[in-house]
Structure 1
Amino acid sequence: MSAESVSEVGETMEGVNTNTNTNISSNDVTNFEVKELEGVRKGKSDWREYRAIELENGATCVLVSDKESKTTAMAVSVNVGASADPRELSGLAHFCEHMCFLGSEAYPGENEYKRYLSSHGGQSNASTSMHFTTYKFDILADHAEPAVDRFANFFVGPLFSPSGTAREVNAVDSENSKNLTTDGRRRLQILKAMADPNHHYSKFSTGNATTLPAANSNSDEPTTTTTTDNDSNHVREALLAFHRRHYRPDNMGIVIVGPQSLDTLQSWVVPRFAPMVDRWTGDESSLTKVELLVEQAAKEAPNNKFHQPQPPYFPAFRPELQGGTWPVLLTTKPLRSVRKLVLMFPLPSVRYQQERSPVKILSHLLGHEGKGSSFAALQDAGLVNSLSTGLRISAPDNSLLQIDVSLTERGEERWTDVASVLFDHCRLLSQTAQTAAGQCGNQQEQEEALNELQRIWSEIVKLNIMQFNQTSPGQAYGLAPGLSQSILYNGTKKCMSSGWQLEEDESTLPLGLLVDFALQLNPANCIVERCSQAAWDEQVTSTTTSNKVEEKNVNIDSSAVTFGLQKEKWYGVEYYTSKIDSDTVTRWETDGAVAPEPLGNLHLPTPNRFIPRTLELCADLTEEARRGPRIDKEIDPPNLIVDEPNVGRLWHRLDDRYALPQSSLQILLRNAAVENVFDAEEQTWHHDVDASIRSLILTGVFSDAMAQETYDADLAGLHWSLSKSSSGILLSCFGYSDRLPDLAVQLLQDFVLRPETILRESHLRATKDQVVRNFESYFQSRRADSHAMYYRDLLLSSKGGGIEQSLEAAKSTNLESLLAQHKLIFSNPEMFAECFFTGNVSQHEARQFFDSACAMLKEATAKSAPDPSKSAVTAVRKPKNRWIPGGLERRLAAGEDVELSFNSKNPEEENGAVLVTYQSQIPGWKGDHLSTRESLKSSASIRLICHMMKEPLFDDLRTKQQLGYVVSGYYDLSFSSRPHDLYQQKEQDLQADGEGAVVTPIDFIVVNILSRKLPPTEVAARVDEFLVNFREMLVEMPESQIRDHSDALGQKMLKPIQKLGSEASVHFGKIRRYAPEVLGNWKKRDASIPWDSAKVMAKEIQSLDRSDLLQTWDRVVAGKNRSRVVSLVYGKTFPLEAPKESSSWISRWNVSQNNPIRTIQDLMSKRKELEPFDAKWRREKSFFQTLGRRQKSFGVAAAAFLGVGILGYYASNKNTDSTSDRTTKAR
């Protein structure tokens, strides 16, 4: 569940102990016995304190005091999930998760919990898996104890009212509807359909309106009749029984994390959770039929707790389920354009062998991408794009290991050869393990095999221990939920360290288990899935016309065997199962599979040369900084070390907060040629789709080409990426500082100086294929709200002509044009390197790298430079007139409403989408001396409005009206660069309002809804009605509540950064946007990079009052000068119909009388009318000239239609913006 819900007041659920004492004293903790458990083992870089306790009722709790956290987070995991669902009530565990949010006896208010969190900077969520249900929240630390009390009452005394039950079924159904167009979910349901129908894995975990019919009964009396008819009253009774059966204190893991002391945290938790008691009798003779149904279903779920014995091996998949015919071929049809080959092997559970799991080394070797791996062999042959290996299922009673391969077009044609190589690799590992175990080979071969496996195991262990000890703690909200689950199945001592192999070394290689598991990686124990349109078409062609579509019944006898075309029960998605011909199977079972061409030699990986040689901290650090993390220390801004005109800038910051041997490097090659072409006649650059797409493919080809070479670096904690943006080409590296500069230099050398050796046809073919397929399947595979965002962004921020134009550019790219694009980029004399090196790196080391990088760029420019007499760029433009590339945002006219209406092109999409976007006409705030005071107040007010609006929007449209599962309101921020030369301007030409800005921020208020309940037009009308009411909420809201919100948002903005990577990202974001403006050939008086912008913004937010918010609301949302785009996408439930001449609902809200845009051609025509958004702005008069006349016809009642309610408010009051504020204050 991705969002929380709350409900109206109702009856207390029967049979659950309630606690109505909401004023618990901290001293009450002494009334309950507490048993202290084994201490938590933590990493060397973890500054937090832990305490593990067991309450007298059996609940296990871990308390975590984090002195650096500004929030307190809490999570409760219940040791139950969908595996315990009664098959007659699929999704019951998930439904129970939803219902627990709907109030409690102690706090019966409809949205009490979520409203309290929202008012104090909090957030919450919950999720249900097959074995766990986890609830979590966080909140500003000063307001934590009341939140803990509200949260605890979910479990102590929840309200499962009949009316709430009825309404929340719709939420579950909407969530299920959202999932129907997701390939991962569709394939998951097919896999469940292939499982043993008597196995818990086969259960449908989400639920829908069919499995959980809406509870219409108002009766609160329990019944004793059977639930097989799925009567709504039985759903509620089963819900109550499920909660009593599973939500017991000894079945819960509780975690609380905050800056409070351990004693304080304990005093909050113990008195609130200790009174919980087990209300389940366990005596089947005394159970009602509904309770018996829940009890029997509970027995189907395997034991999953730390202190319980491991359940016996019970595989969800077995050859006899397909008549003993394995390998079996599963063919699925994706919505996205993908080509997948997946090998799946059922294996015993490794849940109880996490430290010495044979799957660790098998996944490491089968998923390896270095020389000698199956990936390397297949990539060199041009057959695969990517390969990954890991557990698809990790349950207490079984596992499913999968090798997931993304195929090229050629690999699709030769999929049996790809599978042959994978089986060969599995066989190599099995033979190596058997040899090492002395089961075959001579003594020398046995010793060599054992030494190699121990070396590899030792590397895995070393890297795991290193990561465990050299990782700084994250946010409290991220820690609590995972830890609450871990204490249930790992115990408290290993709840943090389980799986990190802290006590392992080369001598603990699990050789016996490795032999056993590797032997099972063979064709006779394998499900082979092909997932692609081509694979589907092959099956359709080969299937005889006599085959009929047959719905898969999950309750059929497991002995029944069906091949051919089938339909999964819950999603209705079709799939094929078929036998694999005996010749192919024989080839898979034979060493050295015969293939049309050699596929390379497979061998174990060589030693990893990227493992850090030292973890020492930089010698330049002070002794105080060396002693340990100092997250509370103020972050010093980066220092500008080098500022060389026409070459680049080097920024450096030696980390003195984290005390970790890690560094972050980002080097941006600012270069207009990446996305543009230069027009010599107009003396300017113009966006060019071909250049942009070729640059995109160029970075992808390089990443593909370097995959084998740098895979060991990734394993050793050195991560890198090369990406294209509107600003240029960005190389990012992060990881252990010892070898990071060497890696970065190698990457730059290969990309900048050796393109001919890297940019090969095989890599181009693979990358181009992925880009083309992504474009081709963009519309057919995404949700309606993604489409809505696409159309809005195509209007406001896209520089190109859309997906179709990009697709054509990608298809036309070849190796010659790619090399030409590389040459154009590096022949541009305006290229400028913006580099930021931070972390455990000295200034000297940073300068060494920067000098090397600049030398490479100069060499590349010299090599790529064309004949000056034939080059428009070099002949006409001079380096001092450098053009600064960047993003684009278009300005809507003041008072303009634009409506976009399109049908979804996803054939499976049932939902429609409504995306309402309000654009502020006042430029967003950047920092002191870079923006006006008016921009600061505007940006602060918009942020606070969005923070305040989020919860009531969700409560009204999602919880009460149940419009859809996705209901969100949020603040959005975009940036627009000036489309001309900054460096040609003089300081005296710059105006005080920031007209000389290179980059202008733009603030937005956004509402997004995904719904199949109503047509998008009606959903849009509901949004507008809410916005009308929300203004009244602002008017009536107590000042204290406004202050709560402003203080909460301000404090959230000032939360300390706890990760080096996050700090580097924030700093480089400012450098990237504002360095050209602050440090150009002219220097703006008193301006500097706004390093402290968050502090200034937080202070401004906390100073806002009601009049500020209403003034901003009336300007951005409700006023006559507001600017808005409404993007509507129609699903198949309510398709978009041709407009009727006689009536148009749009004309009733679109006061400017613009026709709704329904074609891409009209959208692009409208786009041409819009100017780029820059720092210039003026308060233009509205062109709503007919507003007075419209008041007589619809007035405030027009709130039923999109936008009219907001306009109607002003029509009825006939006030200017300023007088309406005065009227408000008078109230």
Structure 2
Amino acid sequence: MNGLRVVQYLATLAFLMAATACTTSVEAPAGSELEALAKSPNDQREYSTFTLANDLQVVLISDPTLEVSGASLSVGVGSYENPEEFPGLAHYLEHMLFLGTEKYPEANSFQTYVQENGGFSNAYTATDHTNFFFQIGEGAFDQALDRYSDYFKSPTFDKTYSDKERNAVNSEWSMGKSDDARIINRLRGVTANPEHPAQRMSVGNLMTLVDQGDTSLYSAMKDFYQRYYSSNNMKLVLFGKQKSATLQALAEQHFSAIANKNIQPPVVSVTGLTDLQSGEHIYYQPQKPTRQMVIEFPLKNNSSQWRVKPNRYVANLLSSEEPGTAAEVLRKKGWIDNFTVSDRPDYYGKDGIFSINIGLTEKGIAHQDEIIATVFKYLDLIRTSGVDSVYYQEYKAMLAKQYEDLQVPNPLNQAVHFSQVLFTLPAQHLNDAFYTYQQFDAKAVKAVLAQLTPQRARVWHISPEAEVDTKIPYYEGQYRVQKFDPAELDRWQTLGQTTELQLPAENDLFSTDKAQVVDASIMQPRQVVDQPGIEAWLVHSEYHQSEHGYLQVMFNTDLPLKSAKNNVMSDLVNRIFALQTTALRDKAGRAGIGMGIERPKNNHALTLSGYSEKHPLLYQRLLQRWVNMAFNEQEFTIAKQGFSDWLDGRAKEEPSRQLFTELNRLMVDPSWTDQALANALEEITLEDIKQYQKDLVSDNRVRIFAFGNYNKANVKEFASITQATMPNTWQKQDRYFAPVTKPVIGEHTNYRGDIAKTDNGLLQAYYSDDTSLDVAAQLFLLNSIFQQAFYNQLRTEEQVGYVVGSSIDRIGDYWGFILYAQTTNTELADLSDRFNQFVADYWLELQALDNAVLEQLRATVIAQINQPPGNFYEEYPKYLNDFYRGNDKFDTRARLIKAIKNTTKAGVVARYKALMLEQNAYRVDVELQGTQAAQPAD
């Protein structure tokens, strides 16, 4: 369903939390027993499982630090069970389910209730399951579960929405039909065994979701629900601050009445890839400028071998970037810019795929045979010399250390994941399955390698140059399949003989030793270095003291903003540096240390994260490479092509995403059109990029932010390394912050552009010139109640757009309120009229808002902002925005909480009236007109 709404909400709340309730008294029934789950020593959550009398398996996550609660329920049926005559039926049912129940008949009443209590909800349909999830303020959890669970007991499937939801599904299909990832997944079905259900279109559209003879779509949908939506085919996860016994009681109370039809859970018994689908080239011309080769092998479903991990053993060796490995050799030749390995053993159900994913350079397009030969040669080397317990011991030790210091994930993400994998994994091992490496099973590894042979491969050639001849059913683009020629197999073997390869050496960055953890004594960022041209700040973790640290070293300068050419060169420099440090970053990553080159706020920054013991050594290596970067034509060409492809791809994004790209360009100064950036790219020479890098490292202010397992001496060491490594020409500057233009109240900017898509997009933004956080607080609370009403009316009731939403924005210190939509069926002028009409009509609804709703929302939002971070990596972002903005008090979060506490309904209403109705704002409209004719739905 509508993922963008969830993304926008999460982004808004995360931004406010970075910048910045009562427990139910239900008791567990006597006699119920909970079984504890294995967990990391670093994990303070409590996990337990039990099964309801109706055979619904439940997992409970209890965490007293949470201020939100939520649920995820997966049903063990997905698109693979779609009837042949109704492609997309499972997805259509997912849309129809949440349109009222006998107890709560109003459509979207659950979503509205969740929104009013500081939460959100969504759903998705996969091949083998369908998932429904939500998160809400902890105090409203009991009532939310009453509403949520009712959809699995007595949904009404309101027939008045049947056609509307057909249109919604069609819009979702229309949005995704030009998305390369979706198209490739579709091709994996189209090119598979013709008897496998992957052949069928999974999403559905107006052509597939229609009555068939005497069988109506509506009755087929209800029959599908009755057939598969049984409690013994469901998995439920609840999370919250409530004790496990209380969560158990809530599960008993709300989910015990779901009918157990004692169904046999569906299982795909047909093999997805038979011998007939092996030994093939698959050519695809992507919609975005992508150059990729995927060497894919059919793989028997060995998911049950998770304790010995044969797939991951092979993948770890294959993907290594150590000297002499396939990835390193191919990079050095300038043929590839990316090399990853993935496995999905249950992709088709009974079987799956093992994939080697290779990003090709333009030069690499002409050397595909050599690339294939190198990969096959490396696989042969692993077969003959790589099945060795030494590699097992190293990987086992790495997993063990990661598990011991496990960073606990977001609880909703965790719940969704748990409810999905419960169908195939024992509940007791939900936490530790990924990290378990019970023993070295050479036989299992060899069994995997025996399937990774040239004769069984399927080689995907994804590039604009690919020769294609067949239309892809229901999706844009074309493809072609061609069987391997026996002469090709001989050629690959011959070419491989000329390539020297070697297996990776032991990782000297990994240590099983436990480093000393510093005492947490600096709980607010403190400046510990203040020297000409360099400053360093340190803060310790309040909640997650461990061996982990996060270091960002920013080279603060206005250089990237001086011209379009400089802006492009700032991107190219980072791309080249990323290419040059690939091997080091790969080795560090395997040892639990993250390394990166970033562009925060148009600056350049080196980052280190993870186990902090070797950060000084790695920082010194990185900085020396950064300051003394050498440039060659090969890397320069690869970087330029990457940037050009990125620009081309951005122009082919969905309209809903392009709306925000254009808004940012209009609001940020300086900024440049994509065409201006493309023109600048053409002008840049290798000498230009060398001079840019020289200027960059010679003229800046170094700003260091250190969080976590460092003491003052460590941070001063980072500063000393910097002082010693920077060039003699270093001109030490004061801080630079890009200026922000104050919004001019009463002005109206209207941007209209044509885009190469079938859909239209509209965005309306209203910016205040008031910089106080009172405006932020008012707009955030307004958005929390406005966006669901806006969505319900324009999307659910009127179907004028599939992506419909609202959000808040911040440009400098100025705040704005945004409405947006993407539509397949409405002209821009009509959509604009609907926006304006809704804004006018909502005035009465806002005035009539119950004060209790706003009070509950305020309490929930404050509780969520104050919620302790779940892991180390969720903690430091709350300081970074103030660091970037030069707020040395680091008090934005505290001031925002105070502003939200002081916000009244009268203030929210007055802000809405002034900003939206009286247009006491700087108004920005972005209109994107789709210029491509809609293709038939097949």
Contact 2:69-2:240 within 8 A present in 1 as well: yes
Hey, what does 1:735 align to over in structure 2? 610
Match in the other structure for 1:638: 525
Report the alpha carbon displacement of residue 651 of structure 1 after superposing the two structures with TM. Answer: 0.9
The yes-or-no answer on 1:1050 pairing with 2:922 is: no
**Cα distance per residue 1:1071-1105 (max 9 Å; x no partner):** 22125xxxxxxxxxxxxx34332233223223222
2:228 equivalent to 1:210: no
Q: Secondary structure at the match of 2:721?
A: helix
Report if the CA contact (8 A) 1:474-1:1059 is conserved: yes
Residue 140 of structure 1 and its aligned partner are, at CA, apart by: 1.3
Q: Which amino acid aligns with 1:380?
A: K
Aligned equivalent of 2:337, options 375, 382, 385: 385
Deviations 1:291-322 (A, max 9, x none): xxxxxxx75x33xxxxxxxx7xx53123425x
CA offset digits 1:303-342 (Å, max 9, x no partner): xxxxxxxx7xx53123425xxxx52211111111111111
Q: Assess, with a 3 A threshold, how the Cα gap between structure 1 residues 777 and 936 changes in structure 2: closer, same or farther.
A: closer
Query: Residues 280-679 of structure 1 correspond to what in structure 2 (within 5 A)?
Result: 301-302=267-268, 314-321=270-277, 326-392=278-344, 394-395=346-347, 396-432=349-385, 453-501=388-436, 504=438, 508-536=439-467, 565-590=469-494, 592-593=496-497, 599=499, 601-620=500-519, 636-644=523-531, 646-673=532-559, 675-676=560-561
Match of 2:80 among 71, 83, 88: 83
Instruction: Tell me if 1:2 matches 2:2.
Output: yes
Partner of 1:746: 621
1:613 Cα offset (Å): 4.5
Q: Residue 427 of structure 1 contacts residue 521 of structure 1 at CA under 8 Å; is this kept in 2? A: no
The amino acid across from 1:773 in the alignment is D
Mapped partners of 2:74, 2:101: distance in 1: 18
Does the Cα contact within 8 Å between 1:784 and 1:1129 map onto a contact in 2?
yes
Which of 690, 696, 719 is residue 594 of structure 2 equivalent to?
Answer: 719
For the pair 1:57 / 2:13, whether they are aligned, the reply is no
Q: CA deviation at 1:34?
A: 4.4
2:763 paired residue number: 915
| Deviations 1:540-564 (CA, angstroms, capped at 9, x unpaired) | xxxxxxxxxxxxxxxxxxxxxxxxx
TM-score by structure 1 length?
0.72
CA distance in 2 between counterparts of 1:656 and 1:1103 reads 27
2:341 is paired with a residue whose SS is strand
- C-alpha separation in 2, matches of 1:162 and 1:889: 51
| Aligned mates of 2:392, 2:61 — CA distance in 1 | 33
- Contact 2:528-2:715 within 8 A present in 1 as well: no
**1:1023 equivalent in structure 2:** 835
From 562, 566, 576, the equivalent of 1:691 is 566
Larger Rg: 1
C-alpha offsets along residues 957-995 of structure 1, whole Å, 9 cap, x if unaligned?
A: 1111112221110111222xxxxxxxxxxxxxxxxxxxx
Residues 1:792 and 1:44: Cα distance change in structure 2 (over 3 Å): same
Evaluate the alpha carbon distance shift between residue 581 and residue 795 of structure 1 in structure 2; reply closer, same or farther with a 3 A threshold. Answer: same
Shift of residue 726, structure 1, vs aligned partner? 4.6
Deviations 1:884-918 (A, max 9, x none): 433454444321222222221x2xx2211011111
Report the Cα distance in structure 1 between the residues aligned to 2:135 and 2:663, rounded to whole angstroms: 33
**837, 844, 849: which one aligns with 1:1032:** 844
Cα distance in 1 for partners of 2:407, 2:656 equals: 36
Segment of structure 1 superposing worse, 201-210 or 1026-1035 = 201-210
Distance 1:621 1:1095, change over 3 A: closer
Residues 35 and 55 in structure 1, CA contact (< 8 A), matched pair in contact too:
no
Could you tell me the TM-score, scaled by structure 2's length? 0.93
AA aligned opposite 1:760: N
Query: Identity rate of aligned residues, in percent?
Result: 21
| Residue number in structure 1 paired with 2:882 | 1070
Q: Please report how far the alpha carbon of residue 826 of structure 1 lies from its aligned counterpart in structure 2 after TM superposition.
A: 2.5
Q: What amino acid does structure 2 have at the position aligned with 1:639? A: R
Per-residue CA deviations over 1:783-824 (Å, capped at 9, x if unaligned) read 123333333333221524311221232233333222211111
- Worse-matched range after superposition: 1097-1106 or 184-193: 1097-1106
Aligned 8 A contact 1:699 1:723 in 2: yes
Matched to 1:659, the amino acid is Q
Alpha-carbon deviation of 1:406? 0.8
Find the residue that maps to 2:529 and give its secondary structure.
strand
The letter for the 1-side match of 2:545 is A
CA separation in 2, counterparts of 1:235 and 1:35? Answer: 43
Supply the distance in 2 between the matched residues of 1:4 and 1:95 (Cα, whole angstroms): 19
Is structure 2 residue 243 aligned with structure 1 residue 261? yes
Distance (Å, rounded) in 1 between the aligned partners of 2:617 and 2:893: 35
Q: Counterpart amino acid of 1:484? A: S
Deviation digits for residues 458-495 of structure 1 (CA, Å, limit 9, x no counterpart): 22222222222212323322221111222222122112
Letter in 2 for 1:618: V
1:902 corresponds to: 753
CA distance in 1, matches of 2:384, 2:28: 63
- Deviation per residue, 1:27-47 (Å, 9 max, x gap): 6845xx7454x4210111110
The range that moved more, 814-823 or 40-49, is 814-823
Deviations along 1:639-688, one digit per CA (max 9) or x if unpaired, are 211222x2211111233421321001011111223x15xxxxxxxxxx21
Using a 3 Å threshold, how does the CA distance of structure 1 residues 1116 and 612 change in structure 2: closer, same or farther? farther
Deviation of the 1:576 alpha carbon? 1.3
Counterpart in 2 of 1:1002?
814
Secondary structure of the corresponding residue to residue 513 of structure 1: helix
User: Residues 1066 and 1131 from structure 1, CA distance in 2 versus in 1: closer, same or farther, beyond 3 angstroms?
Assistant: same
Give the deviation of 1:585 after TM superposition: 2.3
Distance 1:787 1:886 in 2: 26
Take 1:405 and 1:125, find their aligned partners in 2: how far apart are those partners? 33
Secondary structure of the equivalent of 1:820? helix
CA distance in 1, matches of 2:236, 2:625: 51
Q: Is the 8 A contact 2:4 2:803 kept in 1?
A: no
1:719 to partner: Cα distance: 0.8
- For residues 482 and 650 of structure 1, what CA distance do their matches in structure 2 show? 39
Distance 1:100 1:469 in 2: 41
* Partner secondary structure for residue 659 of structure 2: helix
SS in 2 for 1:385: strand
Indicate which of 752, 765, 778 corresponds to 1:941: 778
Of 796-805 and 840-849, more deviation after overlay is shown by 796-805
1:838-917 matches, cutoff 5 A: 838-857=707-726, 860=727, 862=728, 864=729, 882=733, 884-887=735-738, 889-904=740-755, 906=756, 909-917=757-765
| Partners of 1:612 and 1:738 within 8 A in 2 | no
The offset of 1:572, in angstroms, is 4.9
Deviates more, 1:941-950 or 1:648-657: 648-657
- Counterpart residue type for residue 153 of structure 1: D
Residue 150 of structure 1: how far off its partner (Å):
1.0
Distance in 1 between the 2:298 and 2:668 partners?
Answer: 48
Question: Which ranges of structure 1 fall in alignment gaps of 5 or more residues?
Answer: 6-23, 214-226, 283-297, 303-310, 433-448, 540-564, 623-634, 677-686, 866-873, 924-934, 976-1000, 1076-1088, 1136-1227
Give the alignment's Cα RMSD to 1 decimal.
2.4
**8 Å contact kept, 1:73–1:477:** yes
Are residues 280 and 709 of structure 1, via their aligned partners in 2, closer, same or farther at CA, if it must alter by over 3 Å? closer
Distance of 2:428 and 2:648 partners within structure 1: 51
Q: Distance in 2 between matches of 1:739 and 1:4?
A: 39
In the alignment, the residues of structure 1 paired with residue 179 and residue 232 of structure 2 have an alpha-carbon distance, to the nearest angstrom, of 36
Compared CA separation, residues 316 and 888, structure 1 to 2 (3 A): farther
Structure with larger RCO (C-alpha < 8 A, sep 6+): 2
Provide the C-alpha distance between the structure 1 equivalents of 2:837 and 2:883, rounded to a whole number of angstroms.
42
Give the conservation status (yes or no) of the 8 Å contact 1:671–1:885. Answer: yes
